Amino acid sequence: MNRRGSSSVRRISSRRSAGDEAAAIAGRVLKLAVLLQAGASPDAAWRHLAGTGDADAERIARRAAAGTPLPDSIEAEAARPGGDPWRDVAAAWDIAATVGAPLADCLRSIAAALRDAREAQDDVRIALAEPAGTARLMTWLPLAGLLLGAALGFDVLGVLFTHPVGIACLLVGAGLLLLARGWTRRLVRTAQPPPGTPGMHAELTAIALSGGASIERAQRLVAEAPGGPRPGAEETAAVLALSRDAGVPGVELLRATAAHERQSARTEGRLRAAKLGARLLLPLGVCTLPAFLCLGVAPMLLGVLSATPLPELPG
The domain locations on the chain are: 14-23+103-310
Task: Output the pLDDT for position 98.
Answer: 93
Residue 311 scores a pLDDT above 70: no
Confidence of residue 117 (pLDDT cuts 50, 70, 90): confident
Q: What is the pTM of this model?
A: 0.73
Tens of pLDDT, residue by residue over 182-219, are: 998 898 888 887 777 888 999 999 999 999 898 899 99
Choice between 41 and 11, residue whose per-residue pLDDT is larger: 41
**Entry field: residues in the chain:** 315
Computed on alpha carbons and rounded to an integer, the radius of gyration of the chain in Å comes to: 28
Tens of pLDDT, residue by residue over 231-241, are: 888 999 999 99
**Range scoring the smallest mean pLDDT among 56-70, 80-94, 111-125:** 111-125
- DSSP state letters, the chain: --HHHHHHHHHHHHHHHHHHHHHHHHHHHHHHHHHHHTT--HHHHHHHHHHTT-HHHHHHHHHHHTT--HHHHHHGGGGSTT-THHHHHHHHHHHHHHHT--HHHHHHHHHHHHHHHHHHHHHHHHHHHHHHHHHHHHTTHHHHHHHHHHHTT--HHHHHHHSHHHHHHHHHHHHHHHHHHHHHHHHHHHTSPPSS-TTHHHHHHHHHHHTT--HHHHHHHHHTSTT---S-HHHHHHHHHHHHHHT--HHHHHHHHHHHHHHHHHHHHHHHHHHHHHHTHHHIIIIIHHHHIIIIIHHHHHHHHHHSPPPPPP-
Task: Output the pLDDT for position 3.
Answer: 42
Task: Output the pLDDT for position 314.
Answer: 60
Task: Output the pLDDT for position 268.
Answer: 87
